[in-house]
Amino acid sequence: MKTSGLVIALGYGGESLVELNKLGEYPVFLHVVRNVGEVAEEVIVAVSRGLLGVYDKAVSEYGFDECRLVEIGDSGDELSILKEGLGTAGGDIVITAPANAPLIPVDILTLLTELCERRDAVLTRNMKGDVDWFLSAYNRKSLIEAIGLGEGGGMGNVVEKLRRVMYIAYSTIKDLDPMLLSSVRIMRASDIQLVEKIIGRTRGVR
């Protein structure tokens, strides 16, 4: 089965486009592109309307031309974002990742992809127990069909229309990812220094 990666780069936290800040060799979002690219045959970066040029410049400058940029016209909620993003993907499975999460282990992305091969969706939960729609995996055809049955109620309502859904609890993620690298999110430029320290510690463990 072909896998597509969908990196959601729509601005996070209180600072606009924080994922464009440089972390080590690359901007933050390109670390996510690189990790997702270890699992997916194609990587799509979903950006807000009017920002293709900004991201395209970074992609070209750092030699990530193999990833594809798409503009999301309606970025108001998860359902709209995923509907547009999945519509541009060519894979049977689409794995999603937020562009401000540069430390998501490839092992976690691989696991989500493999578990989704026989399911309609594999959804992770965060520390609060909420579904992290942007760190999950979907059967593209199944999700698009479910969205087409009616969009009222958001993603929760759409998922109810799927038959084969697996939820991965936060405690399970913690067992698989003891340092909780998959939970690290860069919300402002000042977080870069903290993430660099985390990277240094992980290298020390290895």
pTM score: 0.92
- What is the reported pLDDT for 116? 97
Q: Residue 121 in 3-state DSSP?
A: strand
Q: Specify the CATH architecture of the domain 3-205.
A: Alpha-Beta Complex (3.90)
pLDDT of residue 1: 87
User: Distance (Å, rounded) from C-alpha 94 to C-alpha 143?
Assistant: 10
The token duo for 87 is: 């519509």
Cβ 106 vs Cβ 177: under 8 Å: no
Output the CA–CA distances (angstroms, integers) from residue 79 to 58, 82, 119, 158, in the order listed: 27, 5, 19, 8
List the domain boundaries for the chain. Answer: 3-205
* pLDDT attached to residue 49: 87
Cβ–Cβ contacts within 10 Å for residue 151, how many?
15
Token couple for 178: 């003891």
Please give the average pLDDT of every successive group of 10 residues along the chain, which has 206 residues: 94 71 94 97 94 93 94 86 93 97 96 97 95 97 90 84 96 93 92 91 61
- pLDDT of res. 170: 95
**What is the per-residue pLDDT for 85?**
93
Q: Give residue 206's pLDDT.
A: 43
- pLDDT score recorded for residue 149: 83
